[in-house]
Amino acid sequence: MLQVETIFRHLLTTVGRLFRRVATAFGITFVIAAGATEGVAGVLTKHFPPDSLTHVTAAVVGFGWALVVALAVAIEEGLRGFVLLIEEVAKATEQAAVKLGKEVVKEGEQVLHGVEHEASALAHGAGHVVQSVERGAVTAVKDVAHVPGQIVGGIEQRFGGGQNQG
C-alpha cells in the first residue's frame, strides 16, 4: 500500500504548489484590478493623478478581486492535489491487488497439488481395498461353490454307505 512518507511528501508538494499559485494569482490580480480601477477613475474624472480616495478605492477593489481569484486558485489546486493522491492510491492498490492475486494463485496451486496428491493416495488405497474385497469375494464364491458338493458328498457317505451295506 501507499506508505505514509509518500502521502506526506505528496501533501507537502501540493501545499507548496498551492501557496505559490495563490500568492502569484493574488499579486497579479491585485495589480491588474487596482490598476484598472485607477485607469477607469482617471478616464472618468479626467484628472491625473487621481486623488487619495481613488487610491483607497483601487486598493479595496484590487484586494477584493485578488482574494476571490486566490480562493478559486486554492480550491482548484487543492482538488487537483486530491485527485492526484487518489490516483496514486488507486495505482498502489491495484499493484497490491495484482501481487496478492499472484500469491493467491501460487498458494492455490500448492494447495491443489496437495489435494491432487491426497486424492491419488486415497484412490490408490481404495483400489487396494476393492482388490482385497474382490479376492475375498472370489475366494468365498469358490468356497461356497464346493459347499453343495460337500453337503451332497456328506449325505452320500452317510446314507450311501448304508445302501451299500444293505
Q: What is the DSSP string of 90-137?
A: HHHHHHHHHHHHHHHHHHHHHHHHHHHHHHHHHHHHHHHHHHHHHHHH
pLDDT score recorded for residue 32: 95
- Give the chain's end-to-end CA distance (angstroms, integer): 107
pTM score above 0.95: no
**Region 89-98 average pLDDT:** 83
Reply yes or no on whether the pLDDT at 119 is more than 80: no
Evaluate the omega torsion of the peptide bond into residue 49 and state whether it is cis, within 30 degrees of 0. yes
The mean of the pLDDT values for the chain is: 81
Q: Where are the chain's structural domains?
A: 4-157
Helix (H) or strand (E) holding 59: helix 52-155
Determine contact, residues 66/33, Cβ cutoff 8 Å: yes
pLDDT > 70: percent of the chain: 88
Asked if residues 76 and 69 have their Cβ atoms less than 8 Å apart, the reply is no
pLDDT in tens, 1-58: 557 777 788 888 888 888 999 999 999 999 999 999 988 888 888 877 778 888 899 9
Cell of 20: 505559490
Other CB atoms within 10 A of residue 29 CB: 21
**pLDDT at 166 > cutoff 50:** no
User: What stretches of the chain adopt beta strand conformation (E)?
Assistant: none
Cα Rg of the chain (Å, integer): 50
Counting beta carbons within 10 angstroms of the beta carbon of residue 37, is it exposed (0 to 12), middle (13 to 18) or buried (19 or more)? Answer: buried
What does the pLDDT read at residue 144? 65
